[in-house]
Amino acid sequence: MTFPDWGRFYGFTKESPPWPLLIRAAALASNGGQALDLGAGAGRDTRYLLEQGFQVTAVDAEPHAVALLATLPPDHLQVVQSSFADFPFAFATYDLINAQFSLPFMPRDRFTTVFVRLKAALARGGVFAGQFFGVHDEYNNTERVMTFLTRAEAEDLLSDLEVIEFAEEDADGHKADGSPKHWHVFHILARRPSA
């Protein structure tokens, strides 16, 4: 099995409810606004954002994810097959940017550039919800080309945003398939300042 086996992950998550962090973020953003779902996967959060009245752009590099996202109600939804690095982030556009468990799968040399573009794509007062992975995460080994941050590095990336929630999880848990994994995750809810 290659890592990550996204097809298997989509099988486990396509009927999953939206992430609670995304629900809290959506409650802070204006309904009917523009939302960007980065690494939308099988569409659990994209579906919720559409139900809440957002205009949604759902981005994923995987053709399998794009096929699943294309089965969602098409009104108010644009599905884009793209890597985060190649996605043309439009400046000051989105009322909500959601990236649940997706950004850390980028290599480190792209991570900061993409996150700077992501922040610039938030409208004033726009909300970001997503995760960074910490250095104690079980996936942090040399075989995996991903990004793992110290708490100070994570905080530094958020220094120009208003941080609403910043929760560090460093604990044994489970993956989507139920197998055990040590997670080190920073769960982030933050807002671009209005002025």
Ligand X SMILES: C[S@@+](CC[C@H](N)C(=O)[O-])C[C@H]1O[C@@H](n2cnc3c(N)ncnc32)[C@H](O)[C@@H]1O
Q: Which residues bind ligand X (CB under 6 A)?
A: 6, 9, 13, 39-41, 44, 60-62, 65, 83-84, 100-102, 105-106
Residues facing residue 127 across a β-bridge? 96, 191
Nearer to ligand X, 82 or 162 (CB): 82
**Closest listed residue to residue 80, CA positions, set 37, 17, 50, 35:** 37
Nearer to ligand X, 113 or 193 (CB): 113
Nearer to ligand X, 124 or 175 (CB): 175
**Closest listed residue to residue 32, CA positions, set 47, 52, 48:** 52
3-state secondary structure 84-129: CCCCCCCCCCEEEEEECCCHHHCCHHHHHHHHHHHHHHEEEEEEEE
Number of H helices, E strands in the chain: 6, 8
Nearer to ligand X, 60 or 95 (CB): 60
Answer yes or no: are the C-beta atoms of 66 and 43 closer than 8 Å. no
Closest distance between ligand X and the C-beta of residue 128, in Å? 14
Q: What is the DSSP letter of 41?
A: T
Closest distance between ligand X and the C-beta of residue 39, in Å? 3
Nearer to ligand X, 54 or 105 (CB): 105
Closest distance between ligand X and the C-beta of residue 175, in Å? 9
Closest distance between ligand X and the C-beta of residue 60, in Å? 5
Closest distance between ligand X and the C-beta of residue 159, in Å? 24
